Amino acid sequence: MSQKLTILVPAYQDAKALANHSKSLGFLRDLNVRIVWVVSPSPDGTEVIARRIADSAGDLFCLSAKGLYQSWNFGITQVNTPFFAISSIGDTYINDGVLRMLDLLIRHGADICFSPPQAMTGSSSPSVTDWPVHRFRRRLGCFHCNIVPARLLVLLQLQSGLDSLLGSWASIVGRSETLRRNPFPLEYGHHGDTAWCFQSLPRLRCVFYDREVATFKFHCTSSLFTSLQLFKQYRILGHQMLQMYTQTTSQTPSFSYVWRKYFVFLHLLNKGRGKKPHRGWWLSWTNWKYRCLRDFFSTCASFYFFFARFPR
């Protein structure tokens, strides 16, 4: 079973952390899980150290062009097993639950099996418990070890904004052929995995595993987009996903109106929040009003989505 899984390890400018990350993968090597290092040329010589580690551990080493999702897409083309996961430097596996997820994928004939990442204690980084996969964990937990209905996935991704509903790819096991047919888009900066969810979720069979199998480490990244640009891309992607799910926009005029209103107030609320919000920023009358209107249209969207006659 474990020989059907490959763990991709993308790396760039991570020379000091490579040895510890390699050690964390040791128990998976003992279980005959294949490890593939996908490394971009780095100023600190990451590729040299990673090649040395891969050779000594019996892993495969691949040199990739720079770019987060460029390296992910390239790595997936190097996978010769039916299934894979992506363990970026610092995202460590805490148990062998990834093999349980592999079993679920095979049993259900699914494309994706996802789980909530473990929150790292004692870290000054933002908590993953704020991520959609944790916020919606109770609703998703009803489908533990089973296929999650596509309509629920679509609804929750619409409500997740610029965050991916699926969470960290160290806590996801995917079918290699699915990602080769639908690679991560490159035109959305560091939101490529979220854009991929918008573009792909309606077509996917996804299993939810309500157990934590890996940690997630936040990396310092800079977005290529302003808040307004991201908001516009978000609306476009959301409409595309809704169209894909319903087959035609003429079936959902009321929902399209609710959808637009929800994102207008979401954008205004985020704009009022600012990049460095002060404590109690949402208590101002204007922000409180935007918050109430956002939640109102979110609720309307939820009711409309579940009671409208959409194809299942």
Domain boundaries, the chain: 2-208, 247-307
What's the CATH number of domain 2-208, 3.40.309.10, 3.40.50.460, 3.90.550.10, 3.90.1180.10?
Answer: 3.90.550.10
Per-residue confidence band for 312, with pLDDT thresholds at 50, 70 and 90? very low
Ranges assigned E (strand) in the chain: 5-11, 34-39, 60-63, 83-86, 112-114, 146-148, 172-175, 206-208
pLDDT tens figures, 264-307: 777 777 777 666 666 666 677 787 888 888 777 777 766 655 55
CB 100 within 8 A of CB 5: no
Residue at 127: amino acid letter = S
pLDDT tens figures, 97-137: 999 999 999 999 999 999 999 976 544 445 678 889 999 99
Q: How far is CA 216 from the centre of its chain?
A: 11
pTM (2 decimals)?
0.79
Per-residue confidence (pLDDT) for residue 297, from 0 to 100: 74
Report the DSSP pairing between strands 112-114 and 172-175.
antiparallel
Other CB atoms within a 10 A radius of the CB of residue 186 amount to 13
The DSSP string of 80-120 is -SSEEEE--TT--B-SSHHHHHHHHHHHHT-SEEE-PPBPP
Is the per-residue pLDDT at 251 higher than 70? no
Please give the Cα distance from 241 to 246 (Å, whole number).
9
Please give the Cα distance from 211 to 232 (Å, whole number).
34
The two three-digit tokens of residue 113, written as one number: 């099996």
Please give the Cα distance from 269 to 282 (Å, whole number).
8
pLDDT tens figures, 194-205: 889 988 888 899
